Structure 1
Amino acid sequence: MTDGYKVYTEAFLKRLGQWDRKPYRGHGRPPVWKYGYPDCLNYGQVVKTRQGKKLEKVEYKVMSGTIPEGWFNTSAVERMNLTIRNSMARLKRISQNFSKEIKDLEQCCDLFRAMYNFCRPHMSLSSGTIKVTPAMSLGLTDRVWSLRELMTFYYRKNIR
């Protein structure tokens, strides 16, 4: 779920897009290959139109998949964006910290993602005195990691 910012649509297609075509029925020209969203992806947009400071209308667009009526809401996405901006100086709106190269920004985002999921307990997942991270709730780990553990963890992809 995103807002109507065009860059998001392009980024989704670049990252998750795939070539596909309809099945050939045996007569006429074969269907053309098209690059688009995979069928398994549910992706929608909430597009808000404003006239000055006044909100004129809100449009809900299903870009891919099937999204039930009334399910559209960007509050979770906006909350996550705020958390990321507040945690990473490189993404703050007014800041002297910036990445000169996109590779540096990507690596910083990867580090934040790992820290957010393994090292940072979340109140919505925790109950009482037991601190729980998103990685713990998914069963990827059984404890809250320290930043030292995260940075010294030896990660190896299984190649088969």
Structure 2
Amino acid sequence: MIWISDGRPVYRRAVRQVYRDAQPTGKRGRPPLVLTPGVGLTQAVKRRHQGRMVRVEVRQVLGEAVDCPYPVHEERLNGMLRDRLNALTRKTHAFAKTTGTWDALVILCLFEHNWLRPHRALREAGEGLPEGRRYRPRTPAMAIGLTDHIWTWEEFLTFKHYQYQKE
């Protein structure tokens, strides 16, 4: 298991404390604890100058180096889920009591994020767009070719799809 974090020392201590196994030595007494094989920690430390980020320093703390030590995509997804699902926020009365409800909430939120909401970073330049626009809005599903238009809630709710049923 590979962990990616910022430069706070608490993560280093936590990973070392949680991911350790007893290594039997054949002697009497409690065996020493060693780091679990396959566990790693990479820290991406952001350096700022006058409020602007000037560079990112990558530190390999435990284990092997990772290809992309920037957790931006996971952070963006977690932030979007926290923003749209009250069950993930603190001090809320909106919580999911069953696994089925929780799964439905997350799936619905992910569908909306990927099919219904255009993302500014995915827009594409175009000519002849209505209202003098320079860019065509796109969703992640459009960007990877799963659809050719931004879906609406009505289209989503009335879409006839195949539902697998066990025999």
TM-score bracket, normalised by the shorter chain, equals 0.5 to 0.7
Query: How far does residue 61 in structure 1 lie from its aligned partner after superposition?
Result: 4.3
TM-score, with length taken from structure 2: 0.54
Query: How far does residue 157 in structure 1 lie from its aligned partner after superposition?
Result: 5.6
How many residues of Structure 1 are paired with residues of Structure 2 in the alignment?
A: 110
Query: How far does residue 60 in structure 1 lie from its aligned partner after superposition?
Result: 5.2
* Residue in 1 that maps onto 2:159: 153
Q: Partners of 1:44 and 1:74 in 2: how far apart?
A: 17
Pick one of 67, 76, 79 that aligns with 1:79: 76
* Residue in 2 that maps onto 1:137: 143
Q: Deviations over 1:24-83 (max 9, x none)?
A: xxxxxxxxxxxxxxxxxxx986466xxxxxxxx863545xxx843xx2122321222111
Residues 44 and 67 of structure 1 are in contact (CA less than 8 Å); yes or no, is this contact kept in structure 2? no
Q: Deviations over 1:97-124 (max 9, x none)?
A: 1011121001111111111111010011
Q: How high is the sequence identity, in percent, across the aligned residues?
A: 24
Distance 1:92 1:126, change over 3 A: same
In the alignment, structure 2 segments of 5+ residues that lack a partner are 5-10, 16-37, 44-58, 125-133
Considering fraction of residues, name the structure with more strand: 2
Distance 1:86 1:112, change over 3 A: same
Q: Partners of 1:76 and 1:44 in 2: how far apart?
A: 21
Over aligned residues, Cα RMSD in angstroms?
A: 3.2
Q: Partners of 2:91 and 2:145 in 1: how far apart?
A: 38
Q: Partners of 1:91 and 1:113 in 2: how far apart?
A: 14
Residues 138 and 150 of structure 2 are in contact (CA less than 8 Å); yes or no, is this contact kept in structure 1? yes
* Residue in 1 that maps onto 2:107: 110
State yes or no: 1:92 paired with 2:89: yes
Residues 42 and 69 of structure 2 are in contact (CA less than 8 Å); yes or no, is this contact kept in structure 1? no
Distance 1:2 1:140, change over 3 A: farther
